[in-house]
Amino acid sequence: MAGPRSLRDLPSVDRLVADERLADVPHELAVEAARVVLDRARAEIRSGGEPGELLEAVLEEVERTRRPSLRRVLNATGVLVHTNLGRAPLSRAALARVAEVGAGYSNLEYDLERGERGSRQDHLTNALRRLTGAEAALVVNNNAAAVLLALAAIAEGREVIVSRGELIEIGDGFRIPDVLARSGARLVEVGTTNRTRASDYEAAIGPETALLLRVHQSNFRVVGFTERPALAELAQVARAADIPLVDDLGSGALVPVGEEPTPAESLRAGAELVCFSGDKLLGGPQAGVIAGRAELVEKLRRHPLQRALRADKLTLAALEGTLALALDPETRGEIPILRMLEEPLEAVRARARRLAHAVGGEVEDTVARAGGGALPLAELPSAACAVEEKLAEPLRLGDPPVIGIVRDGRLLLDCRTLTDAEADEVARAVTAARAWS
Which residues make up the interface to ligand PLP (CB under 6 A)?
A: 142-144, 147, 170, 174, 215-216, 218, 248, 250-251, 277, 288, 373
What is the rounded CA–CA span in Å between residue 400 and residue 193?
44
Among candidate residues 72, 37, 58, 82, the one with its CA nearest the CA of residue 398: 72
If the CB atoms of residues 17 and 161 are measured against ligand PLP, the closer one turns out to be 161
What is the rounded CA–CA span in Å between residue 29 and residue 8?
25
What is the rounded CA–CA span in Å between residue 368 and residue 381?
6
Residue 146: CB minimum distance to ligand PLP, A: 8
If the CB atoms of residues 110 and 174 are measured against ligand PLP, the closer one turns out to be 174
Question: Can you give the length of the chain in residues?
Answer: 437
What is the rounded CA–CA span in Å between residue 90 and residue 101?
15
If the CB atoms of residues 79 and 402 are measured against ligand PLP, the closer one turns out to be 79
Residue 216: CB minimum distance to ligand PLP, A: 4
Residue 85: CB minimum distance to ligand PLP, A: 14
Residue 37: CB minimum distance to ligand PLP, A: 41
Residue 277: CB minimum distance to ligand PLP, A: 4
If the CB atoms of residues 82 and 216 are measured against ligand PLP, the closer one turns out to be 216
Among candidate residues 154, 190, 148, the one with its CA nearest the CA of residue 170: 148
What is the rounded CA–CA span in Å between residue 82 and residue 28?
38
DSSP strand E in 216-268: where? 245-250
End-to-end CA distance of the chain: 21
If the CB atoms of residues 134 and 140 are measured against ligand PLP, the closer one turns out to be 140
If the CB atoms of residues 139 and 395 are measured against ligand PLP, the closer one turns out to be 139
How deeply is 17 buried, as exposed, middle or buried, from its count of CB atoms within 10 A (0-12, 13-18, 19+)? buried
Residue 252: CB minimum distance to ligand PLP, A: 9
| 194 HSE (CA, 13 A, CB side) | 5
Residue 254: CB minimum distance to ligand PLP, A: 15
State which residue has the least CB distance to ligand PLP: 250
What is the rounded CA–CA span in Å between residue 349 and residue 347?
5
Residue 338: CB minimum distance to ligand PLP, A: 18
If the CB atoms of residues 144 and 150 are measured against ligand PLP, the closer one turns out to be 144
| Residue-wise DSSP of 285-323 | SS-EEEEE-HHHHHHHHHSHHHHHHBPPHHHHHHHHHHH
If the CB atoms of residues 374 and 413 are measured against ligand PLP, the closer one turns out to be 374
Torsion sign across C-alpha atoms 342, 346, 351, 356: positive
Contacts of 223 (CB under 8 A, 6+ apart): none
If the CB atoms of residues 151 and 385 are measured against ligand PLP, the closer one turns out to be 151
Contact 263, 129 (CB under 8 A): no
Residue 219: CB minimum distance to ligand PLP, A: 7
Rounded to the nearest 5°, which phi and psi values hold at 311? -80, 155
